[in-house]
Structure 1
Amino acid sequence: MIAVVFGSSGGIGRALAEGVIATGKYTAVYAVSRSGAEIKGALNRRAEFTDEAQLASLAAEIGAAGPVTLCLVASGLLSADGVQPEKTYRALSADAFARVFAANTTAPALIAKHFLPLMPKAERSVFAALSARVGSISDNRLGGWHAYRASKAALNMLIRNFAIEQARRAPGSICVGLHPGTVDTGLSKAFQGGVPGEKLFTPAQAAEYLLGVVDRLTPENSGTCFDWAGKEVPA
């Protein structure tokens, strides 16, 4: 059994990779990041997640080693130089939309394109990408954060699509989104002000909760999004 964790240089991604290694369930754990960050016990690889040639090469290498039974996508973008969550539609920017969608929607989609085919047809397998509660359309009461919300809503739709397609070719396959809650990482640092201390998780806590959710998933759960506590996030 092989596990692959994308985004392993980030706080949650590193913790997920370390958590997967600690389970001892997998014959190999690949940790993939844009920087090629070193994680002890992992096969560390470097890739740009929107570069199909790099993803195809990586998939060919990993696929030759055996079937992938766990693929976690923990990369994403909330804010960066020139990109901030918008408080109003007056702040919308085509460049910001392109960057946020590339990181939060296109990258997981391309990873799925190249790694879902490596998953076994009958054996249980899980493809999970970090989503967010703010990507829920029905749960949106505050508005704002237009590009980020839209990119995660689009990701949730893709996950649903992947689940439907995988069910036809691989009945044991599970495709889900995972909402980790608010985690004390660089991504959320500027937005932690109103978060109660008990709801601000360390990366290790978040990884433990999410991997617990993954362990309990069944094919009937495929196509949905779950939070860190295992509760379904509304579409």
Structure 2
Amino acid sequence: MQPWALVTPASRGIGMELARRLLLTTNVPVVATARGDPDQTKENLLSGLRDVKENRLHVLKLDVLDEQTIHDAAVTVFALFPKKEYYLHLSLCVPGLLFPEKSPSQIDYEHALLTFRTNTLGPMMLLKHFSPYLPRKSTALPIPDSTELQGLPQNHGTWATMSARVGSITDNRLGGWYSYRASKAAVNQVTKTFDNHLRTSAGENALAVSLHPGTVKTGLSEEFWGNVKGEKLFSAEFAAEKLMKVLCGRTVADRGKCWDWKGEEVPP
């Protein structure tokens, strides 16, 4: 069985850098998604990657707010990578949206609904349609340290969803950001629930985790750059490098939890 990897969305920010890193440091085919122009996204992803073969990258149109596009992309992937020959080894689900309500009076219903649709329901729909491609108990994974698994988690497939430290109920000391905090806490619950499913369907062949990338210099956090110390404001490239290192260091004992960019557990 041959592995492949998924990054969704990958048109900008952390998603783009995660996809580029997979192309640079692994040998697997990479499926990336974009809500906008797939051809432009593919050009951007390959820019400057001279030694990467273009046929390793497949960019599909997908909008996490539109389940039909998720279904259609999954059908396309099945045609590209038939289940008898391929399996999904690494899925990186990174949709994100933030409206920073500082007080209850600033909560806007439509903004809160869009936050949950993007941050929580989006990843849920992605796992609905793409998780069947993850390994099962009967899947024969490549041997650890083989060429196929270069730069990837070695002993298991991984479903990783972007969360945030502010999604931790235990760590919530400041309040605010109601819809974003709640949506990311929900992501962690989805991760744990899905991992329980994988324990049954895949055993130790697949696990699910959530990730906290730190404060990254992307459009999501642009409003708050001035409040963050320079050494704690990361580039998307740095965040992608750290998160891949964290994922490659996880074992089955780490499953179902949220991990930050340093490899430390974020409490629920």
TM-score range, shorter chain: over 0.9
Match for 2:176 among 141, 144, 160?
Answer: 144
Task: Give, in whole Å, the separation in 2 of the partners of 1:57 and 1:11.
Answer: 24
Name stretches of at least 5 consecutive residues in structure 1 with no aligned partner. Answer: 79-83
Task: Decide which moves more: 16-25 or 145-154.
Answer: 16-25
Identity of aligned residues (%): 40
SS at match of 2:90: strand
SS at match of 2:220: coil
Task: Give, in whole Å, the separation in 2 of the partners of 1:229 and 1:63.
Answer: 35
Aligned residue for 2:27? 25
Match for 2:115 among 100, 117, 125?
Answer: 100
Map residues 56-95 of structure 1 onto 2, 5 A cutoff.
56-64=71-79, 65=81, 66-78=86-98, 84-95=99-110
Name stretches of at least 5 consecutive residues in structure 2 with no aligned partner. Answer: 47-53, 142-155
Pairwise CA RMSD of aligned residues? 1.1
Aligned residue for 1:44? 59
Task: Give, in whole Å, the separation in 1 of the partners of 2:27 and 2:248.
Answer: 11
How many corresponding residue pairs? 229
Residue 191 (structure 2) pairs with residue 155 (structure 1):
no
| 1:6 and 1:75 in contact (8 A); partners too | yes
Task: Give, in whole Å, the separation in 1 of the partners of 2:63 and 2:13.
Answer: 18
Map residues 1-20 of structure 1 onto 2, 5 A cutoff.
1-20=3-22
Q: Return the offset for 1:10.
A: 2.1
Task: Give, in whole Å, the separation in 2 of the partners of 1:101 and 1:73.
Answer: 15
TM-score of the superposed pair, with normalisation by structure 1 = 0.94
Q: Return the offset for 1:53.
A: 2.1
1:133 aligned partner, one-letter code: R
- 1:90-146: CA deviations, max 9, x gaps? 111211111000110000010011111111114410110110000000100000000
| 1:50 and 1:110 in contact (8 A); partners too | no
Task: Give, in whole Å, the separation in 1 of the partners of 2:135 and 2:71.
Answer: 18
Task: Decide which moves more: 38-47 or 159-168.
Answer: 38-47
Q: Return the offset for 1:29.
A: 0.2
1:59 aligned partner, one-letter code: A
Aligned residue for 1:176? 209
Map residues 166-205 of structure 1 onto 2, 5 A cutoff.
166-171=198-203, 172-205=205-238
Task: Give, in whole Å, the separation in 2 of the partners of 1:190 and 1:90.
Answer: 20
Q: Return the offset for 1:158.
A: 0.5
SS at match of 1:192: helix
Misfit runs of 4+, over 3 Å: none
TM-score of the superposed pair, with normalisation by structure 2 = 0.83
SS at match of 2:227: coil
User: Which has the larger Rg?
Assistant: 2
2:60 aligned partner, one-letter code: R
Match for 2:242 among 209, 217, 220?
Answer: 209
